[in-house]
Amino acid sequence: MQKPRLAIAGIVAAVLIAVPVAFAVGAHSRGPSQADLALIDGVIRLVESDYVHPVGSHKLTEDALKGMLSRLDPHSGYMDEEELKQSRADITGKFGGLGIQISEEHGVPKIISPIDGTPAVHAGLQPGDLIVAIDGTNTQGLDLTEIVRVLRGQPGTSVKLTIARGSQTPFDVTLTRSIIHVQTVKSMLEAGGIGYVRITEFAGDTPADLKKALRDLKAQAGGKLKGLVLDLRNDPGGLLSSAVEVAGNFLRGGKVVTIKGRHQSDNVTYHVSPGSTVLPDTPMIVLINGASASASEIVAGALQDRHRAKIMGTQSFGKGSVQTIIPLNGQGALRLTTALYFTPDGRSIQGQGIAPDIVVDVPKEQQVAGAVLPRESALHGAFRNPGPLGKAGQQGHAETVRAIARSAPIQTQLIGSDQDAQLKAAISYLTEAGKGTTGKG
Active site members: 294, 305, 319
Question: Residue type for 20, please?
Answer: P
Q: In whole angstroms, what is the distance from residue 153 CA to residue 159 CA?
A: 9
Comparing CA positions, the residue from 169, 192, 148, 162 lying closest to residue 283 is 192
Spatial neighbors of 176 by CB under 8 A, at least 6 apart, are 119, 156, 157, 158
Please tell me whether the peptide bond between 127 and the residue prior to it is cis, using omega within 30 degrees of 0. Answer: no
Q: In whole angstroms, what is the distance from residue 18 CA to residue 88 CA?
A: 7
Spatial neighbors of 396 by CB under 8 A, at least 6 apart, are 318, 350, 351, 352, 353, 375, 376, 377, 385
Contact predicate 146/80, CB 8 Å: no
Number of Cβ atoms within 10 Å of the Cβ of 428: 12
What letter does residue 205 receive in the DSSP assignment? T
Rg (CA), the chain: 22
Spatial neighbors of 251 by CB under 8 A, at least 6 apart, are 272, 276, 277, 280, 302, 303, 306, 308, 441
* E runs forming strands in 143-212: 158-164, 171-176, 178-181, 185-190, 194-199
Q: In whole angstroms, what is the distance from residue 415 CA to residue 178 CA?
A: 23
**Long-range contacts at 203-207 (CB < 8 A, ≥ 24 apart):** 203/91, 203/93, 203/238, 203/239, 203/242, 204/19, 204/91, 204/92, 204/93, 204/239, 204/242, 205/93, 206/238, 206/239, 206/242, 206/245, 206/246, 207/242, 207/245, 207/246, 207/248, 207/249
